[in-house]
């Protein structure tokens, strides 16, 4: 079981790392460059035009490795769910680069597409796999019954969008995802979920292979293609394990949660008082505005995730 996961990691890494040098010039030739938010940090302006949609490389690595080492219907459902989230991100990215503007789908369109994927996966898990339980860290196993359907949908939507928000600095989303996915690979192996463990191991390999080209200064960005794919993979794997590991995402994936909460808090407080809690959100920009370099933010956020994932491991 663990051997399959290790091999899936290696194959995914090799495919992603080898494919990126072909993909980056292709994206540059098509002028698929990132448009930088006008209200973002001014020093990010130099990133304008950096090739985006590099998440395609990670998707290729994970899908190819999964086709070799994943044989169960549940394991493939995790891969398909992640790929569909990646497809939503791809369409969003495509609209952005064609219009040369940082707006793709309307929020309603994007949410509707993500909701449809989440609903399909939640229904599959409940009616086909009979999975309706969730494990509380350091606590009991809960049987959620039919409530697991909206619960799984919420987890998928929250995780995919939180990883998407985290993808704002060179190497940040990929680094934090690497640590979180490694935990879920080990946890799923611990639960005897070998196929899901292999998928998560493949995500680790793909993220590391992508980081070769995404570390500061990034030669390519993953775009919504990559961030929604990674978030969908993490969320689907957590929901597919039996018992479910969704609540472990709150602890092990706290950085992702913190990114989302910072935006929610900032907007809510500003609307009510006209004042800002943070200098800029998502929260990684706040630390930038405090003088932290991108590399320091990535290192600290990844280290925090590592510590929290170690805590999660003892809470299995």
Tens digits of residue pLDDT in 113-160: 999 999 999 999 999 999 999 999 999 999 999 999 999 999 999 999
How far apart are alpha carbons 120 and 278 in whole angstroms? Answer: 37
Q: How many CB atoms lie within 10 A of CB 31?
A: 11
Q: What is the mean pLDDT of residues 49-78?
A: 95
Confidence at residue 30, expressed as pLDDT on a 0 to 100 scale: 82
How far apart are alpha carbons 66 and 158 in whole angstroms? Answer: 24
Question: For the segment 3-37, what is each residue's pLDDT rounded down to a tens digit?
Answer: 899 999 999 999 999 999 999 999 998 877 666 55
Q: Which residues of 131-159 are buried (b: 16+ CB within 10 A; e: fewer)?
A: bbbbbebeeeebebeeebbebbbebbbbb
Residue 173 confidence (pLDDT) above 60: yes
Q: How many CB atoms lie within 10 A of CB 221?
A: 27
Helix (H) or strand (E) holding 269: helix 254-273
- Mean of pLDDT over the chain: 92
| Model pTM above 0.85 | yes
Nearest Cα residue to 284 out of 236, 216, 238: 216
Confidence at residue 288, expressed as pLDDT on a 0 to 100 scale: 93
106 band by pLDDT with thresholds 50, 70 and 90: confident
277 band by pLDDT with thresholds 50, 70 and 90: very high
8 Å CB contact between 144 and 151: yes
103 band by pLDDT with thresholds 50, 70 and 90: low
The set of residues, in sequence order, having a beta carbon less than 8 Å from that of 119 and lying 6+ positions away, is 149, 153
Q: What is the mean pLDDT of residues 97-117?
A: 82
Q: Is 235 exposed, middle or buried (0-12, 13-18, 19+ CB in 10 A)?
A: buried
8 Å CB contact between 229 and 96: no
Question: For the segment 38-56, what is each residue's pLDDT rounded down to a tens digit?
Answer: 555 555 556 677 899 999 9
How far apart are alpha carbons 300 and 312 in whole angstroms? Answer: 18
Site of tokens 């996915």: 181
Confidence at residue 241, expressed as pLDDT on a 0 to 100 scale: 95
């Amino acid at each position: 079981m663990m051997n399959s996961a290790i091999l899936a990691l290696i194959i995914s890494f090799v495919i992603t790392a080898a494919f990126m040098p072909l993909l980056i010039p292709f994206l540059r030739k098509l002028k698929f460059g990132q448009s930088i938010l006008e209200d973002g940090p001014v020093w990010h302006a130099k990133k304008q035009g950096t090739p985006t949609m590099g998440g395609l490389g990670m998707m290729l690595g994970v899908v190819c490795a999964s086709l070799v080492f994943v044989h169960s219907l549940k394991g493939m459902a995790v891969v398909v769910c992640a790929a569909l989230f990646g497809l939503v991100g791809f369409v969003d990215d495509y609209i952005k680069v064609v219009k040369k503007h940082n707006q793709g789908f309307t929020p309603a369109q994007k949410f509707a597409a993500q909701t449809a994927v989440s609903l399909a996966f939640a229904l599959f898990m409940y009616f086909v796999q009979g999975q309706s339980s969730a494990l509380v860290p350091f606590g009991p196993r809960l049987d959620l019954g039919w409530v697991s359907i909206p619960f799984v949908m919420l987890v998928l939507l929250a995780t995919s969008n939180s990883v998407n928000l985290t993808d704002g600095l060179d190497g940040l989303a990929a680094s934090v995802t690497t640590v979180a996915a490694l935990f879920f690979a080990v946890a799923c192996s611990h639960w005897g979920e070998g196929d899901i463990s292999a998928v998560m191991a493949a995500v680790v390999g793909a993220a590391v292979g992508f980081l070769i080209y995404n570390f500061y200064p990034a030669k390519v960005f993953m775009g919504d293609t990559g961030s929604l794919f990674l978030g969908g993979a993490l969320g689907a794997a957590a929901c597919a394990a039996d018992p479910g590991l969704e609540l472990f995402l709150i602890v092990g994936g706290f950085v992702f949660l913190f990114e989302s909460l910072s935006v929610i808090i900032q907007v809510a407080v500003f609307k009510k008082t006209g004042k800002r809690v943070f200098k800029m959100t998502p929260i990684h920009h706040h630390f930038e505005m405090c003088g932290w370099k991108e590399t320091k933010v990535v290192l600290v956020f990844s280290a925090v995730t590592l510590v929290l994932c170690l805590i999660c491991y003892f809470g299995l």
